[in-house]
Amino acid sequence: MRKLAVILAFAASPALATGIEIEVSGEAEGTIAIDLLEDVAPAHAERIATLAAEGAYDGVVFHRVIDGFMAQTGDVEFGKMGGDMSMAGRGGSAMPDLPAEFSDIPFERGVVGMARSQNPDSANSQFFIMFAPGAFLNGQYTVVGRVTSGMEVVDAIKRGEGRNGAVIGQPDVMERVTVTD
């Protein structure tokens, strides 16, 4: 019963942020503005805002980029520029994984979703931005935000290779991620 009360208290608490801005460098240069959807995925939006406010996303690369599909980033454990990139995409934050917050919002161009393992309740810090619609993700992954400006920067992110989209060589990086009001 105590756990339920904590969850209800969290749901009633005010939103932490309304969005983030990502300064990107590499093949892509510029700023991506994302509106976090606190009303749709409050725990996931709070997680991204918290990690951004702590500076955890600063210096994290886009490690998985599949042309015509999406660009993935946010591995604050193994995805920092200058580190051993062989593990990028396998880590998360020191915080616990999040229960899924699925919605009816479709995965369209510019939608931001939370990356996870096969377990629906395993999202942590990684997220992806859609290049194009991906209806097969609908109801299977948590929608956490939408790009409001800078889609041309997203489109310029260095593409990965192979079926998994692993970025070879110098990946694009989130130099700085800030919380916006």
User: pLDDT tens for residues 40-98?
Assistant: 999 999 999 999 999 999 999 999 999 999 999 999 999 999 887 889 999 999 999 99
Helix axes 42-53, 2-12, angle to 10 degrees: 70
Q: Which domains does the chain have, with CATH numbers?
A: 2-180 (2.40.100.10)
User: pLDDT tens for residues 152-171?
Assistant: 999 999 999 998 999 999 99
Report percent pLDDT > 70 for the chain: 91
State how far the Cα of 65 lies from the Cα of 84, in Å rounded to an integer: 18
State how far the Cα of 81 lies from the Cα of 59, in Å rounded to an integer: 5
pLDDT of residue 17: 53
pLDDT of residue 161: 94
| 3-class secondary-structure state, position 42 | helix
What is the pTM for the complete model shown?
Answer: 0.90
State how far the Cα of 55 lies from the Cα of 50, in Å rounded to an integer: 9
pLDDT of residue 83: 80
User: pLDDT tens for residues 84-128?
Assistant: 788 999 999 999 999 999 999 999 999 999 999 999 999 999 999
Average pLDDT over the chain reads: 91
C-alpha distance from residue 94 to each of 12, 64, 104, 166 (Å): 25, 21, 29, 24
User: pLDDT tens for residues 1-16?
Assistant: 333 333 333 343 344 4
